[in-house]
Amino acid sequence: MKTVYSPLHAGHSGQMELVTSAIVPGFEKPSRAEFIRARVESEKLGPIIGPVEHDLAAAKRVHEAHYIDFLPTVWPEWVAAGFTGSAMGFTWPTRGLRGDVPPKRIDALLGYYSFDAGATFVEGTWAAIKSSYDVALTAAALVKGGERTAFALCRPPGHHAGAAFMGGYCFINNAAVVAQWFRDQGAKRVSILDVDYHHGNGTQEIFYRRGDIQVLNLHGDPMVEYPFFLGHADERGEGDGEGFNINYPMPFGTNWDGWGASLEDACAKLAAYAPDVVIVSLGVDTFEKDPISQFKLKSVDYPKIGRRIARLGLPTLFVMEGGYAVEEIGINAVGVLTGFED
């Protein structure tokens, strides 16, 4: 399979994040994508190609236009205001506050457009976000053009980003963008299978009232795991979307036995939905050695994920999301892809 990759991701580096009362170097760092790219090469997965540039119209099909227009302004406005370091918010419009009036200060706007302090900007961040979006759309076009599968080596990831907010290292929801893009290209039904350790709250929010895009999410139980405020089993979609959002929250310590059983159930529901295309939000932070996660998958389990997805027999686009055990991230992510191709 072809991999789409852009070196522009690397400008999103040196960002800081807030973790349990400390500001620390971001876990979501450039070496992640570089280890994956190196493994794609050493495993001879297939050609690595660059992205085609796209305008932002496809992003505005799933995100609010004012949010997308805000993103490229962040770093210039932050610098113009005299701030240095990572641009991040510090006040968020929670229950009881006005979420409908954007303030006029860049540091306040960062909070307005975030649900946490986990999506921070440095100088190269917008170029990286845009390249990640271009990577996803370029890979989608390969599948639309008749290839059975493709790998969008996206960085930064996307699944925590909602219609008008960033968070959790995510800015533009690449998987949501390409799901809508396939619909706009004539697909009748699209399934998103999110196997990242964290619940894809942004993807769920974007498609919650939609019956034409099925969203299946396997993740750590939000009662005890980030993002905490979405991802419970009783969230099944609303209106036209009733029954098309399916969550599999799982306890800390879940290994292949439990995780694989959830994958099996998700694949059965996906097959019954019979989509024209499958988008896999591919996080490998389910790994036993992941520094911020609590599942216990082993490297030998990742090819099993790919093989199970391949058995669906559907055109499949893999979109990279999380995974922070950088030494093994290439082995695990590419393990899924080589398993798919077995």
- Selection from Zn ion, ligand Q9C, none that 306 binds (CB < 5 to 8 A by kind) is none
CB closer to Zn ion, 202 vs 315? 202
- Selection from ligand Q9C, Zn ion, none that 118 binds (CB < 5 to 8 A by kind) is ligand Q9C
Per CB under 6 A, does 169 bind ligand Q9C?
A: yes
Question: Looking at 51, 231, 283, 306, which residue binds ligand Q9C (CB under 6 A)?
Answer: 283
CB closer to ligand Q9C, 214 vs 286? 286
Active-site annotation holder among 160, 198, 199, 219: 160
Q: Closest CB to Zn ion belongs to which residue?
A: 322
Question: For this structure, is 159 an active site residue?
Answer: no
Q: How far is the CB of 282 from Zn ion (least distance, A)?
A: 10
Q: How far apart (Å, rounded) are the C-alpha atoms in residues 151 and 37?
A: 11
Q: How far is the CB of 185 from ligand Q9C (least distance, A)?
A: 26
Q: How many CA atoms lie within 13 A of 239 on its CB side?
A: 5
- Selection from ligand Q9C, Zn ion, none that 181 binds (CB < 5 to 8 A by kind) is none
Q: How far apart (Å, rounded) are the C-alpha atoms in residues 236 and 244?
A: 6
- Selection from ligand Q9C, Zn ion, none that 226 binds (CB < 5 to 8 A by kind) is ligand Q9C
Of the candidate spans 66-74, 168-176, 206-214, 332-340, the one that interacts with ligand Q9C by CB under 6 A turns out to be 168-176
Q: How far is the CB of 197 from ligand Q9C (least distance, A)?
A: 7
CB closer to Zn ion, 33 vs 106? 33
Q: How many CA atoms lie within 13 A of 125 on its CB side?
A: 29
CB closer to ligand Q9C, 171 vs 244? 171
Cβ contact 197:293 at 8 Å: yes
Of the candidate spans 91-99, 125-133, 163-171, 306-314, the one that interacts with ligand Q9C by CB under 6 A turns out to be 163-171
Number of residues that bind ligand Q9C (CB under 6 A): 16
Q: How far is the CB of 79 from ligand Q9C (least distance, A)?
A: 26
Q: Closest CB to ligand Q9C belongs to which residue?
A: 322
Per CB under 6 A, does 168 bind ligand Q9C?
A: yes
Per CB under 6 A, does 220 bind ligand Q9C?
A: no
- Selection from ligand Q9C, Zn ion, none that 144 binds (CB < 5 to 8 A by kind) is none
